[in-house]
Amino acid sequence: MEGKVSASILRIEGVNIYCEYILNGKPPIILIHGFVSSTYTFNRIIPLLKEHFSILALDLPGFGRSEKSTSFVYSYHNYAKLVVKCMEFFGLTNVTIVGHSMGGQIALYTAKLIPEKVKKLILLGSSGYLKSANKLLVYSSYLPLFNLFVKRTVNNRSVKESLRNVFYNASKITEDHIREFERPLKDKNFCKSLIRLLRHREGDLTSEELKEIQTPTLLIWGEDDAVVPLSVGKRLARDLPNAELITYKETGHLITDERPHEITNHIFSHHYSGIAAQ
């Protein structure tokens, strides 16, 4: 229904995927969140985007309201395949993909997988150039007590403390933020899925692979990002053949919360660059 956010659980590739969507006949945009996050990442920009786009936002397996599967292979390639399957389910093509943090890397993998169906990319504080976990750590993850170690590590750091790391202005942290970011941590299989992500996540795309992605890309960064520094954005801007970098002062990693109106305007402008606005 136009203007109203709908929500569904889809069974895709053997995993339950939580999706929020608005299908209104307007150009499609897909929103992909980052590590230990959810569709809530985009809660401040969805109401603004729906004026211009059909919207699909999904919780990646292991996070948010999606299944914390203990059988899914948590690789970027498989995450990208799930994005493609969701696109097919909703009949979306010629999409603009917005990816935040780790979601930016998944957006890049998706564009690499189906370049003919991805019109534009917008990467918000995107991860980049990270290697896969070292083999010793991967081997250690199979030890019987490793799950307890991860659970203790997760539980020992408060959600509010973690949120302070992603905001430039910590006074913007609300009870809603704490509740939504805390939600997946309560799932009994969360730590198990986190360990599987550690094992399966291949490294980020290399400079050589990035140079092959021709999709027009807009990079948006907070200059005070303490999670993914601006230097990563500058390097991505050099490696991606068709990229532009925009930065904001006094802005941290959760740029969707701190600069929602600016981001929405940039998404709209980037989507329609080179074509007449519809």
Q: Mean pLDDT score of the chain, rounded to an integer?
A: 90
Note if 273 is an active site residue.
Answer: no
Note if 52 is an active site residue.
Answer: no
Calpha distance 113→97 (Å, rounded)? 13
State the CB neighbour count (10 A cutoff) for residue 192. 17
Predicted pLDDT of residue 148: 58
Calpha distance 72→109 (Å, rounded)? 18
Predicted pLDDT of residue 98: 98
Calpha distance 143→136 (Å, rounded)? 11
Closest CA to 106 of 116, 118, 94: 118
Q: Are 60 and 30 in contact (CB under 8 A)?
A: no
* Catalytic residue of the set 52, 100, 253, 271: 253
Calpha distance 99→202 (Å, rounded)? 18
Query: What are the domain boundaries of the chain?
Result: 6-272
Assess whether pLDDT exceeds 90 at residue 142: no
Assess whether pLDDT exceeds 60 at residue 257: yes
pTM score of the predicted model: 0.91
Give per-residue pLDDT as tens, 43-97. 999 999 998 999 999 999 999 999 999 999 999 999 999 999 999 999 999 999 9
Q: How much is the average pLDDT of 97-106?
A: 98
Predicted pLDDT of residue 166: 95
State the CB neighbour count (10 A cutoff) for residue 256. 23
DSSP 131: P
DSSP labels, 173-235: --HHHHHHHHGGGGSTTHHHHHHHHHHH-PPPPPHHHHTT--S-EEEEEETT-SSS-HHHHHH
Q: Could you give the 3-state DSSP secondary structure of residue 25?
A: coil
Q: Which CATH class is domain 6-272?
A: alpha beta
Alpha helix locations (H) across the chain? 46-49, 76-90, 102-113, 135-140, 146-156, 159-166, 175-182, 190-200, 207-210, 230-239, 255-258, 260-272
Give per-residue pLDDT as tens, 169-220. 999 999 999 899 888 888 888 888 888 888 888 989 999 999 999 999 999 9
Calpha distance 216→196 (Å, rounded)? 32
Give the percent of the chain with pLDDT over 70. Answer: 89
* Catalytic residue of the set 54, 66, 101, 126: 101
